[in-house]
């Protein structure tokens, strides 16, 4: 049985997946190599999906996530309604939440806002919270 060592860091996990994709598509010729790489690839992808389901390691029903969703919704609303006096408050709250997210997940998260949606995503554009408009 093949023992696949899973990296704790999500960036390293993604790099290993990318490397295996490259290896399989371009260079594997031996059926044995293909089978080994496919097994490792499947296990790494499975782990990446498991981590995503945990909302980046945060319990979906946690009070922290509920408060974070409320913060993002109200921050977006303050921008939409032009409530300048509240924006500073929400930015300060976000900076605290951003530090907590970094501590909990080991990743940096950012507030993202477009005409189509608003939310919180990481540098890979994977959303922790995403609200579609309209």
Give the integer Cα–Cα distance in Å for 101 and 97: 6
pLDDT of residue 8: 83
What is the 3-class SS of the chain, one letter each residue? CCCCCCCCCHHHHHHHHHHHHHHHHHCCCCHHHHHHHHHHHHHHHHHHHHHHHCCCCCCCCCHHHHHHHHHHHHHHHHHHCCCHHHHHHHHHHHHHHHHHHHHHHCCCEEEEECCCEEEEEECCCCEEEEEECC
Average pLDDT over residues 69-94: 92
pLDDT in tens, 99-114: 999 998 889 999 999 9
Question: Is residue 82 predicted with pLDDT exceeding 70?
Answer: yes
pLDDT band at 30 (very low <50, low <70, confident <90, very high): confident
The whole model's pTM is what?
Answer: 0.58
Closest CA to 128 of 75, 30, 57: 57
Give the integer Cα–Cα distance in Å for 11 and 30: 29
Question: Is residue 53 predicted with pLDDT exceeding 70?
Answer: no
- pLDDT, mean over the chain: 87
Average pLDDT over residues 34-47: 89
Question: Is residue 19 predicted with pLDDT exceeding 80?
Answer: yes
The larger pLDDT score, comparing residue 72 to residue 9, is at 72
Question: Is residue 120 predicted with pLDDT exceeding 90?
Answer: yes
Give the integer Cα–Cα distance in Å for 103 and 76: 24
pLDDT of residue 134: 66
Long-range pairs for 46-49 at CB < 8 Å and ≥24 separation?
Answer: 47/6, 47/13, 48/10, 48/13, 48/14, 48/17
Give the integer Cα–Cα distance in Å for 108 and 30: 40
């Amino acid at each position: 049985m093949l023992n696949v060592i899973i990296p704790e860091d999500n960036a390293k996990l993604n790099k290993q997946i990318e490397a295996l994709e490259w290896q399989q598509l371009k260079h594997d010729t031996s059926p044995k190599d293909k089978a080994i790489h496919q097994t490792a690839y499947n296990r790494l992808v499975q782990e990446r999906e498991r981590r995503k389901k945990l909302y980046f390691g945060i319990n979906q029903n946690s009070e922290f996530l509920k408060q974070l969703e409320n913060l993002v919704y109200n921050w977006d609303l303050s921008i939409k309604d032009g409530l300048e006096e509240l924006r500073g408050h929400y930015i300060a709250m976000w900076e605290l939440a951003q530090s907590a997210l970094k501590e909990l997940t080991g990743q940096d998260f950012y507030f993202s806002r477009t005409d189509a949606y608003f939310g919180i995503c990481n540098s890979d554009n994977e959303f922790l919270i995403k609200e579609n408009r309209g």
